[in-house]
Amino acid sequence: MNLASLSDIELVEALKNTKDSELIEELYRRYSQRVYWWALKFLQSSSEAEEMVQEIFIMLLGDALKNYHPREDAKFSSWLYRCVGNQCLKSLRGRYDVLNKQVIIEDIPKELIAKIDLNDSILLEERAQMLSQALNQLSAMQRACCLKFYWDAMKYEQIAEELGITYDQVRSHLQNALRNLKIAFKETRGRTIL
């Protein structure tokens, strides 16, 4: 069978019934570049866009095509781009959730408390309370970098990829966050909580 001669609809219907790897390869050949560019518009990161291409075509091999019911005048590409857009938005929402996550006292790693070199006379619970409030006052990106580095023990490269920024930006956000946290604690030496 000459797969190149099949229309998108015929190819998708055949793929729904057989899950043949040659069929998905043909769809990949036709749409991978366009899916990549569409994902790149949303995600602003080539590595994330490449991952999205893989994710989309894995979804097509799974159950995603069960939701595809074309109208007579509809194009497969319109449905596919909508799927890509939805997946990209889901990814961006996850990134947004990380950037806007508020810190609670129980979450604070001891390594971060030690790194800021807090006054030992401040009780640990009060210290954690102060640090929690100070972390929540950082910029969203500084807080996200702190959460990823200290809580999730991620490397700079991983943080950069997940947040869609550069390695140097991660380093800068972490340095600025630590500086801002130290400043916040110098201002509260009189044991006033932020």
Range of the domain at 157: 105-186
Q: Is the pLDDT of residue 80 over 60?
A: yes
Residue 44 token pair: 């602003």
Q: Is the pLDDT of residue 103 over 80?
A: no
Q: For the whole model, what pTM was predicted?
A: 0.50
User: Which residue, of 97, 123, 146, is where some domain finishes?
Assistant: 97
Residue scoring higher pLDDT (35 or 137): 35
Euclidean distance between the first and the last CA atom of the chain, given in angstroms as a whole number: 71
Maximum Cα–Cα distance across the chain: 80
Lowest mean pLDDT among 93-102, 133-142, 163-172: 93-102
**Cβ burial 46-62 (10 Å sphere, 16+ → b, else e):** eebbeebbebbbeebee
If asked whether residues 113 and 92 sit together in one domain, one would say no
If asked whether residues 90 and 111 sit together in one domain, one would say no
Q: Is the pLDDT of residue 163 over 90?
A: no
Instruction: State the pLDDT at residue 66.
Output: 77
Residue 13 token pair: 């219907």
Closest CA to 8 of 84, 68, 85, 83: 68
If asked whether residues 55 and 115 sit together in one domain, one would say no
- Does any domain span residue 194? no
Q: Is the pLDDT of residue 190 over 90?
A: no
